[in-house]
Amino acid sequence: MPKLVDHQERREAIAHALWRVVDQQGWPGATLREVAREAGVSLGQLQHYFASRAAMLTFAMEYAAERTADRVARGLAGLDQPPHPLEVLRIVLAEMLPLHPDARASSRMNAAYVLEALHDPELRKRAGLGLRDGRATVERLIRQAIAQGLIAPERDPDIETDLILALTGFTPLLELEVIEPEAALAAIDQYLDRLFAEGP
Amino acid sequence: MPKLVDHQERREAIAHALWRVVDQQGWPGATLREVAREAGVSLGQLQHYFASRAAMLTFAMEYAAERTADRVARGLAGLDQPPHPLEVLRIVLAEMLPLHPDARASSRMNAAYVLEALHDPELRKRAGLGLRDGRATVERLIRQAIAQGLIAPERDPDIETDLILALTGFTPLLELEVIEPEAALAAIDQYLDRLFAEGP
DNA sequence: CCGGTTACAAGTCAAGTGTATTGTAAAACC
DNA sequence: GGTTTTACAATACACTTGACTTGTAACCGG
């Protein structure tokens, strides 16, 4: 056979091409042929690495989630140890919003994925689990911060968690350039500052 | 010619069918033939009312925006006159979230539309204008409430406006059943209560 | 060195897409 | 009452799509 090839590597390269296509042409534009062209491979080769379009999309999504987690982890590494929960939340939120090219690609992938998941039970389960996981992580953070006295004890951890997650609602505003990235960051800072403020 | 037909009425009927299709099968599933089937008309008839698929989608979106505005107006009519800004915001937010079938259909239409708009300059301009309009309306409300002393004067109207709009970020959480409708409403109430609370 | 496996290339296929064309019945209008 | 419009039906067209099949060169393992 020809030189043995690292499948994972190839798949990731194709996933990157897929991101680029989705970023530039949208989810429906991500046809097998278009992704192959963007990746600089033939349709046959692409099909050698992904048995179906669905398999390709699923892989690309999981890989995007990994990369986002990596970006967050890298951001957290730059903080004091242990980091202040406010800083943690700030970084998590900032990485989930389309504020730089990498995050934008992930964000668009995610949006398309969620939209698709609404009508596909399998994807729905998968996407639901992912989001629930994320929510659980944030909730843990909030509860810890309350226990540490960093957040006023009157705050309901469930509601505060949901409100934090809702801040990803900046995404469409940013994408359509209704608000500037600085405005989104300022709003997040303002919100977190109030959340972590001392009670009266 | 056969009995003269109310074009607007026909178009709206088709738009309703389109919503149903988008709601159940997603944006890409909204093919001319599928919408025609859902509307109970022939492909030829549908083409008689919409010159192209793009025209159909545009009409359906504008109509959805009108209907959402109607729902909000109906909600506002049930309030004291003049209504308290908090109540106004509560109703606006509640109608923008997928909390009941009508709002859900509009919400999904809107999500798909925004996603599509990212790669279509014409749609982008249109969607951007719509969102900017909405933002301006909310901002006016906030500034008024500050002027009336209902919101603490330290609050920055710009940031507060953005934060209000960000609360539409509950949408994916609701759609994927990560949180319950009551939780979203509770969070919104909590948030608005704090926004309108007296300063210390 | 050779059978078997891997890595692709290229072509084929059926299904589905939006759009354009053509035909026709019916009612409005002068 | 003839003519012109309107409202549709039906079909055809040119493409694109994901999937599948077949062919073939390359290399490893025995």
- Span A6-48, pLDDT tens digits: 899 999 999 999 999 999 999 999 999 999 999 999 999 999 9
pLDDT of residue A180: 98
| Nucleotide closest to residue B28 (CA–C1') | C17
| Calpha distance B85→B108 (Å, rounded) | 27
- Convert the pLDDT of each residue in B9-54 to its tens digit: 999 999 999 999 999 999 999 999 999 999 999 999 999 999 999 9
- A/B interface, count of CB pairs below 8 Å: 127
Q: Once rounded to an integer, what is the mean pLDDT over residues B67-81? A: 95
DSSP per-residue string spanning B7-76: HHHHHHHHHHHHHHHHHHH-GGG--HHHHHHHHT--HHHHHHH-SSHHHHHHHHHHHHHHHHHHHHHHHH
CA-based nearest residue in chain A for residue B189: A159
**pLDDT 10s digits, B85-116:** 999 999 999 999 999 999 999 999 999 999 99
- The predicted-structure confidence for A88-141, as pLDDT tens digits, reads as follows 999 999 999 999 999 999 999 999 999 999 999 999 999 999 999 999 999 999
| Distances in whole angstroms, Cα of residue A42 to Cα of each of A25, A31, A58 | 19, 13, 20
Q: Average pLDDT over chain A, rounded to whole?
A: 95
Grade residue B197 by pLDDT with cuts at 50, 70 and 90. confident
- At A135 the pLDDT is 98
- In this prediction the pTM is 0.93
Residues 90-129 of B with CB under 7 A from strand C: none
| Beta carbons of B119 and A25 less than 8 Å apart | yes
Q: Please report, rounded to a whole number, the percentage of residues in chain B having pLDDT higher than 70.
A: 98
In Å, what is the CA distance from A39 to each residue of A17, A18, A19, B23?
Answer: 5, 8, 10, 33
B189 touches A: beta carbon within 8 Å = no
